[in-house]
Amino acid sequence: MVTLQAFQPLIDTVQGSLLLASPEDGRIYCANQLACILLACPQSDLLKCSIYDFLPDKNEAYNLCRELAGNNMIYNRGMQLSTSAGRTFEVQLSARRILLDQIPLLVCSFSDRTETKVLSQLLDFERQLVERSLNIVKTLKEEGGQSDDEDKLTGVVGMHRLMSSAHAETSRARRYGNSLSGLALELVNIPEMVPQEDDGSAYNHLIRLASSLCLQSSRDSDLVARRSANTFVILLPHTPIGGANEMGRRLIKSLRQLTFLYQGAEHQAAACVGISSLRSEESSPMPMLERLEEALTKAREGGANYIIKLP
């Protein structure tokens, strides 16, 4: 076995777990460090064991021996191994009988599928998150139609600038532990736009009144953007969700005092509000904006004067 021990520095460089064992009884001659780690067994103890000791299903030992006798090789078989403490885990195992200086050997390599499965789940989650983020951006572009930094009708910023500010404020909030909230206000009884009247239409008049009210109710650090025809989004740095809720209540109360003429009759302005805030574990504004959209959808279903919060 002196010859086999000379292979120890070599097999320690192998990325996967590697064992050299007896084809007859599975007694382990050599093992690299990763195999010792995954089997939770010190190398000195591992060399006293058989590879078959780490099979939780003892019938599997018979199946492996029979398959190796017939094919001389097993490649990437999904199965279970157990650690020296009895914890089972999923592996991909390959094995082959070889002759080394006329000494028959069983070479076994295996990789932990648990880590691969977790990594796959993380990649799937990341892909889903990216898809949702892209859908939000797509929706904001389609509904708002605003790629400029400023909305021409109201003078508030466009969604392109708000998104840039949202990322910057999220980074600032994470760095200094500040709160960050978002508020979406949607007018629910907006009149039809009359293109012939253009700037003098009731539609444009109400939109301007609503944007002016949002600007008057916000602070210098806040950012008001027009998201779609009748929806405004307000980014609220240094503001917990309770402060955003209070602002939403004030906006709804003030809007109810606004009136506009449409088809010869006087109408009262009304709106619904969705609110969300950045969570401590979030490093991107996208999840908050996604909840903000969901909150506004629920508020829209409730109708005028509804406020829905999704922290």
**pLDDT over 90 (residue 307):** yes
Cβ neighbours for 79, distance < 8 A, ≥ 6 positions apart: 60, 90, 91, 93
pLDDT(149) > 90: no
Average pLDDT, integer, range 101-108: 85
77 CA to centre of own chain = 32
Q: Which CATH number does 2-115 carry?
A: 3.30.450.20
Quote the CA–CA distance of 96 and 234 in Å, as a whole number: 65
Tell me the average pLDDT across 224-243. Answer: 92
- In b/e form, how buried is each residue of 50-85, taking b as 16+ CB within 10 angstroms? ebbbbbeeeebbeebbeebeeeeebeeeebebbeee
Asked which of 21-25, 39-43, 197-201 is least confident by mean pLDDT, the reply is 197-201
Q: How confident is the model at residue 2 (pLDDT cuts 50, 70, 90)?
A: very low
Q: What is the pLDDT of residue 247?
A: 94
The answer to whether the predicted template modeling score (pTM) of the entire model surpasses 0.95 is: no
More confident residue, 197 or 292: 292
pLDDT at 200: 53
* Whether the predicted pLDDT of 147 surpasses 50: no
> In this structure, is the dihedral angle defined by the CA atoms of residues 134, 159, 273 and 218, taken in order, positive or negative?
positive
Identify the pLDDT of residue 145.
Answer: 47
Residue 216 has pLDDT above 50, yes or no: yes
- Quote the strand ranges of 175-222, DSSP E: 180-187
* Residue 244 backbone class (left: φ over 0; alpha: ψ -120 to 50; beta: rest): alpha
Query: What percent of the chain is predicted at pLDDT more than 90?
Result: 29
Mean of the per-residue pLDDT values of the chain:
83
**Pick the residue with more confidence: 6 or 100?**
100
The mean pLDDT of 61-82, rounded to a whole number, is 84
pLDDT over 80 at 125, yes or no: no
pLDDT average, residue stretch 274-289: 93
CA–CA separation, 267 and 108 (whole Å): 80
Mean of the pLDDT values across residues 221-232? 90
Q: Return the CATH class of domain 145-310.
A: alpha beta
With beta carbons less than 8 A apart as the criterion, state whether 39 and 46 touch: yes
**Hey, where are the domains in the chain?**
2-115, 145-310
The per-residue pLDDT for range 28-51, each reduced to its tens digit, is 988 888 888 889 899 889 888 999
Indicate if the pLDDT at residue 187 is higher than 80.
yes
